[in-house]
Copies of this chain bind each other. A is one copy, B any other.
């Protein structure tokens, strides 16, 4: 068992939160911004002061390794991301990196040896808010995305990702891919949902990540003057969209306990108070631990789009926007997290992640699991995001001990 230094851990959390910190106690540290450069410089400094060598790959992903006793043993990867949402919280991502950093500091301070190397990582652009997609750096690293395509992605000002990476000095030399097999990957993250709080437990043992399907339906009606056009003469694209919004709220209730469905985006044209809407595009998305349930939800959203279009006499089409299959984490890693939490005496429960994480990409490459820290009111991606220092610390200690357990060869 290792025990992180709670005071130093909290100080470090506070220190990182000053870089891009907002007046209201949140964090505005967009990927490849000046603030991202500053926190990367700070991160480098912390690692070098432990005598570690920082490696930066071509996509800006940052690594540093503490050797194990067995030169042939595969490394255990721990970490998360230091970028934030626009006016997001100080925990999302950063908590996982700081916990990993504290682990390395503690091993160094207490002169603990592990059989396997332990490697810390800060992934580039997990958030996907400035450049899409989310989880970009880890996606490139595991070969899910082509690096040259991702380099060309632009932000809303038209700035290319690769230019911004060079501008902040974090386009490294190392290929953005694994150099070898890894023993395991562990990531600590805030839950971003209410399940742990509802169960009154501080620590989540993450068994997998739900799958999702994102689609969009566009309805094509007729733009007529809202005054002289009788109701029976109308083909109103927005009325059709409203039907689907209502049904997406209802579909999950007929499928699974953990199924969710959301219409997050709607765009109406010409969007004028006095004109019947001609064209409306709306997105819809569903998530569930079961890929079959996600597929059923997708099929129902498409069927509801068709029914709504017929009812209103409008044309329609739908398209896939993005999909991700569900992930089941490796028993070895899940058990290590569970064992660590139990040994530490922390109340915990097994939980699916409802959000995507870098760990979901990593799970396609090596055994993986995650630790969740309870989120107050399930809030994230906003300055209201909050986890008490005590709960942050419990989750960090769980991560540290799970990592040491695997790195010591104690996990089956």
On A, residues with C-beta under 8 Å from B are: 191-195, 210, 212, 214, 223-231, 233, 236, 238-239, 241-243, 245-246, 249, 252-253, 258-268, 271-277, 283, 285, 287, 321, 353-356, 378-382
Interchain CA distance A277-B283 in the complex, whole Å: 12
Q: Which 10 A-B pairs have the closest CB atoms?
A: A193-B228, A228-B354, A242-B245, A226-B262, A227-B354, A227-B355, A242-B242, A273-B283, A264-B273, A192-B228
- In the complex, the answer to whether B380 meets A225 with C-beta atoms within 8 Å is yes
- Residues of chain B with a CB closer than 8 A to A225's CB: 192-193, 354-355, 380-381
A291 to chain B, nearest CB (A): 15
Contacts known (A245-B242, A246-B239); A226 close to B260, Cβ less than 8 A: yes
A214 to chain B, nearest CB (A): 6
Of the candidates B191, B238, B261, B380, the one whose C-beta lies within 8 Å of that of A263 is: B238
- Residues of chain B with a CB closer than 8 A to A226's CB: 260, 262, 264, 285, 287
- In the complex, the answer to whether B246 meets A227 with C-beta atoms within 8 Å is no
- Residues of chain B with a CB closer than 8 A to A354's CB: 225, 227-229
Stoichiometry, copies per complex: 2
- Residues of chain B with a CB closer than 8 A to A241's CB: 242, 245
Q: A214-B274, A238-B266 are in contact. List 13 more A-B contacts (CB 8 A).
A: A192-B225, A194-B228, A195-B228, A212-B227, A224-B378, A225-B355, A227-B260, A231-B249, A239-B245, A239-B249, A242-B246, A246-B246, A264-B272
Residue in chain B with minimal CB distance to A282: B238
- Residues of chain B with a CB closer than 8 A to A265's CB: 268, 271-273
- In the complex, the answer to whether A276 meets B253 with C-beta atoms within 8 Å is no
Interchain CA distance A273-B285 in the complex, whole Å: 8
- Residues of chain B with a CB closer than 8 A to A253's CB: 231
Interchain CA distance A152-B354 in the complex, whole Å: 52
Residue from A226, A287, A381 with most neighbouring chain B CB atoms (10 Å): A226
Residue in chain B with minimal CB distance to A379: B224
A27 to chain B, nearest CB (A): 16
Residue in chain B with minimal CB distance to A258: B230
- Residues of chain B with a CB closer than 8 A to A191's CB: 228
- In the complex, the answer to whether B242 meets A194 with C-beta atoms within 8 Å is no
Interchain CA distance A276-B268 in the complex, whole Å: 18
- In the complex, the answer to whether A230 meets B193 with C-beta atoms within 8 Å is yes
Residue in chain B with minimal CB distance to A382: B223
Residue from A227, A228, A283, A356 with most neighbouring chain B CB atoms (10 Å): A228
- Residues of chain B with a CB closer than 8 A to A228's CB: 191-195, 353-355, 378
A382 to chain B, nearest CB (A): 7
Contacts known (A224-B379, A239-B246, A268-B265); A194 close to B276, Cβ less than 8 A: no
- In the complex, the answer to whether A246 meets B249 with C-beta atoms within 8 Å is no
Residue in chain B with minimal CB distance to A381: B225
